Amino acid sequence: MRRDPLILGGGPAGAAAAITLGRAGYRPVVVERLAGPADKVCGDFLGIDTVQRIRALGVDPVALGAEPIGRVRLVHGERTAEATLPFPAFGLSRRTLDDALLNRAGQAGAIVRAGETVRRLTGAPNAWHVQTGGPVELIAETVFLATGKHDLRDRPRPHSAHDAVGMKMYYAAAPGQAARLDDAIELTLFPGGYAGLQRIENGRIALCVAVQQRAFQGHGGSWETLLAAIGRDGGRFSAIMAGLRPLLARPLAVAGVPYGYLAKPVSPAGLFRLGDQAAVIPSLTGDGMAIALHSGMLAADTWLAGGGSEAYRRSLTQTLGSRMRLAGMLHRVCMNGAAQSTATRAAAWFPALLRQAACHTRLPPYAAAGANRVGAP
């Protein structure tokens, strides 16, 4: 039986919790299914709220080679709207950032067990039992569930027929090709979805697509036919893509992304849901990483202060509520073919709308409840 929380998942949420607990003198165990650094479907955009939390955890995105992003560009057909972001932002791959955060967790005192998959999670009074591929069952009073978009069979999140498909590809750009994006994150709207292009470290370009499942099938049901359909709707997208060389054998993909999901008060005591297990904000806001980091730090601070999982969930919901509602509205507009043209035209006339949308989907500055705590009680 472990007194220290057992953290299932070594992504940003799990690593943030582990670093916070380690700094307080504890030695949490982090069970991570991947044996080493890997690319992930989303999360390459780092807004000001993400950057502030990363730096609070002891990681500097600039030192990792992050590309500065200073503008947001909205594209629909041949119409473009553009605005300066009201905060500094960066482009950095999940492979690079996740690795740096998990290494920082180990330096802070966490025990990282990489390459182990959680097979089963069961609860008993005052004890959680975790079965992995290893020979020994793990038992702990408290579990931080931070498995991201991958649900445990025993503890799934609710899904619906309206869930989206998320896809990503990394590209190498021909000389001068990356300059087409400048320092902007570019969001191209197409019937049933949107595609985001941005620069990341080492001169690469990331393309992330969120598309409704029925629209994906309507566009041919493959990555190639989807890109062709997006290109037919807008010459700018096809012109940028023409000079890019894919760096992965196939796109990263995840189906059934429950955009708008926010955990309800149904989890048993001692189970803290972090990151995408707690809330899934639509990708177009670029704030999923901030939520992951915030949830991990908040869960750890709540536990250190003697609070339970329901107190943590209420605090997280209070912080996220209005931002999730606004993000959901923006997501529905950008997914709706009839509304996309109107939204782009309005943003072109009033660029301040883009800046306001970016501002009001950010999290407030993080103030650690346990920032001055030294050692375990």
Q: What is the pLDDT of residues 4-19, one digit of tens each?
A: 899 999 999 999 999 9
Q: What is the pLDDT of residue 1?
A: 63
Residue 193 lies in a domain: no
Residue 340 lies in a domain: no
At residue 375 the predicted structure's pLDDT band, cuts being 50, 70 and 90, is very low
Residue 268 has pLDDT above 70, yes or no: yes
Q: Which two tokens stand for residue 286?
A: 């670029």
Centre a 10 Å sphere on the Cβ of residue 88 and count the other Cβ atoms it contains: 13
Helices 12-23 and 94-108: crossing angle in degrees, nearest 10, is 20
Residue listed under structure tokens 């990394």: 170
Q: What is the pLDDT of residue 141?
A: 93
Residue 66 lies in a domain: no
> Are 272 and 14 contacting, i.e. CB atoms less than 8 angstroms apart?
no
Residue 13 lies in a domain: yes
Domain assignment of residue 109, given as a range: 6-46+94-159+258-335
**CA 364 to CA 359: how far, in whole Å?**
10
> Are 200 and 91 contacting, i.e. CB atoms less than 8 angstroms apart?
yes
Q: Which two tokens stand for residue 189?
A: 């709207």
Domain containing 302 — which CATH number?
A: 3.50.50.60
Indicate the residue type of 187: L
> Are 75 and 315 contacting, i.e. CB atoms less than 8 angstroms apart?
no
Q: For the chain, how many structural domains are there in total? A: 1
Residue listed under structure tokens 């899934």: 280
Residue 284 lies in a domain: yes
Residue 141 lies in a domain: yes
The verdict on pTM exceeding 0.75 is: yes
For residues 224-244, one letter each, b for 16 or more C-beta atoms within 10 angstroms of the residue's C-beta and e for the rest, the string is: eebbebbbebbebbeebbebb
Cβ within 8 Å of residue 63, ≥6 positions away: none
Cβ within 8 Å of residue 217, ≥6 positions away: none
Instruction: Calculate the CA dihedral of residues 358, 185, 261, 274 and round it to 10 degrees.
Output: -90
> Are 13 and 312 contacting, i.e. CB atoms less than 8 angstroms apart?
no
Residue 78 lies in a domain: no
